[in-house]
Amino acid sequence: MSRQMVRPGGRSARVQASVHTAVRELASEVGRDALTVPMIAQRAGVTPSTVYRRWGDLQELLSDVAVERLRPETAPGDHGALAADLTAWAEQFLDEMSSPAGRAYIRDALLGDPDGGNAGQCSAYAAEQIDVILTRASQRGEKVPDVETVIDHVVAPLMYRILFRPDGLGAAYAHRLVTAALDPTGR
């Protein structure tokens, strides 16, 4: 888990919030690679030593912020059928993650992450969203694969290509993956 085991209210919470927003603001102003701890601290109205004590180093801070931004803000849409729901979700997922900013967030989340906790959180977000879609389809009476199958057949290929082969990715590929994963002869 993250290092948000801080006192829940008061100054600690304020510091954390202002540091996080400072990171996001500065990242969009000067670019992610130009970020430094002193720069962030100044914008947040905090001293650099506070940042070092709370987060250890810049990478862990960026990893925390990245996970926060990768958290889905809305439940997956309901289009009346499993295939449509999954396709729409996969296309949106690909869209958000394959942008330069999205790739940078993924890499940051993977990076400052010795114990693998933050990366696991990202995967858990996707699994939650898929579970919502599958549960809804199941209640409609549709036959559904399990979450792990969808992760192996849809999420993993998308993520692999986002990270290792950013070229030639599009909605068509996402659609194809979903269709193959749901094809009964493919199960």
Partner DNA sequence: CGCTAAAAGCTAACCAATTGCGTTAGCTCA
Partner DNA sequence: TGAGCTAACGCAATTGGTTAGCTTTTAGCG
Residues lying near DNA in the complex (CB under 7 A): 5-12, 15-16, 36-39, 45-50, 52-54, 57-58
* HEC sequence for the chain: CCCCCCCCCCHHHHHHHHHHHHHHHHHHHHCHHHCCHHHHHHHHCCCHHHHHHHHCCHHHHHHHHHHHHHCCCCCCCCCCCHHHHHHHHHHHHHHHHHCHHHHHHHHHHHHCCCCCHHHHHHHHHHHHHHHHHHHHHHHHCCCCCCHHHHHHHHHHHHHHHHHHCCCCCCHHHHHHHHHHHHCHHHC
Among 67, 86, 97, 122, binds a copy of itself (CB under 8 A): 122
Residue 139 binding partner per list DNA, a copy of itself, none, with a CB distance cut-off of 5 to 8 Å that depends on partner kind: none
Told to check if 185 binds a copy of itself by CB under 8 A, we report yes
Q: Would you say 146 or 152 has its CB closer to a copy of itself?
A: 152
**Does residue 161 interact with a copy of itself by CB under 8 A?**
yes
Tell me how far, at minimum, the Cβ of 58 lies from a copy of itself, in Å.
12
Choose the contact partner of 48 out of a copy of itself, DNA, none; CB within 5 to 8 A by kind.
DNA
The answer to whether 152 contacts a copy of itself (rule: CB under 8 A) is yes
In the bound state with a copy of itself, the residue whose beta carbon lies nearer, of 44 and 178, is 178
- Residues in touch with a copy of itself (CB under 8 A): 107, 110-111, 116, 119-120, 122-123, 151-153, 155-157, 159-161, 163-166, 177, 185-187
